[in-house]
Each structure stands twice: as C-alpha cells, then as structure tokens.
Structure 1
Amino acid sequence: MGRVTFIEHNGTQHEVDIEEGKTLMQTATDNGVPGIDADCGGACACGTCHVIVDRNWIAATGAVYAEEKQMLEMTPEKADTSRLACQISMTEAMDGLVVRLPEFQM
C-alpha cells in the first residue's frame, strides 16, 4: 500500500497509508492528521479541508470542478496548487503524494 505525507504549516510531517477509494480528507481524519477540519464531512461545502498539493503531484489529483473552484476562491491562503482534500480520491498510484496544510482553514 502507498503512503501520503501531510506537512503542517509548522513543518511537522505526518506520513500515513493510502486506502484506495477513500478521499484524501478521509485519509487525514482517519489518521488524526491535525489541520484538516472537514466541517461539512466531505460535501465540498465548506473549504475546511484545504490542502496545497506539491507541484509534482497536482496532475495526479484529478480535475477541479466548479463547486471546488468556488470554495477555493474564498480560501485566504489559496495557492496555484490548492485543492479540497474531500475532492481527491486516493489510488495506489498516489504513493508518495505530498500535501501541505495552510496555517488556517476557512
């Protein structure tokens, strides 16, 4: 099974196993990764699972649809590679994925 690395704003790293079929948000919350609030439970309705995907991995995370774009526009720490973790479905091909967590969630 693959692994994904979450890097907190302060540099603390959390490396966790990928569970194929779960979202990146579920992966984070199931493993107690701090910094992913997931207030809406993964409905793409709050923006509290904002992550900044390492540039080398952005293509692997899939397409960004209108709802997600709309949520990301309200995110104060939005970057070019920002995504909502609830919209990224994990696959074994994502082994090595690195995402950074913003200092604050919306």
Structure 2
Amino acid sequence: MPTLHYTPAAARTLARLEKGRRADPRRLRRVRQALEHLAADPHHPGLRSHRYAVLPGHRGTAAWTSYIDQGPGAWRIHWTWGRDGGAVTVLRVGPHL
C-alpha cells in the first residue's frame, strides 16, 4: 500500500476544506474517501485514474489524475509516483482543470 505525501498546495487545500470560511464538510468527506482509495490502490476503479498530459506548474513530471466526483464543479486529485518504494505524492487537489 503506497504512502501518501502532500505538496504544500495540496495540504493548504485540505486545510481550507476543514476549517475557515471556505470549509466544506461534504466535499472534505469525498476528498478523504478518494485519498483512502488512492492510498489503498491507485488504480481503484472508482478513481478512474489515468495519465495526465501536462499538469500546469509540473512540466516534465509524469502526473496522474483521479476522480473525486463528476459533473459540474467536479474535483480531481493530481498525483505522481515517488521513487521511494511506491510512495504517492499528491500534487494538487481541486477543481477539474
């Protein structure tokens, strides 16, 4: 089972969903559920993980994207495989690009 690591940007998004005026308990629950699936199996069918061509701000990085939800206002998790034994680095959590 891969270990999840977060970039500062991803960690800030999670913190904003937890508290403050932008807190969103419903979305936070969905994000956490998707992250649990990602940690258990990055290719979990519900995540619909696939390679992402070019992730803004991460050029040259082989990034993947996974679904959090679908439809208007859909959110995604963008991540990459680490070199240290299958660790997953969460690059970004947020609205679909």
Q: TM-score, normalising length from structure 2?
A: 0.33
**Structure with greater Cα Rg:** 2
Greater strand percent: which structure?
A: 2
Q: Whose relative contact order is higher, 1 or 2, with alpha carbons under 8 Å and at least 6 apart? A: 1
Q: TM-score, normalising length from structure 1?
A: 0.31
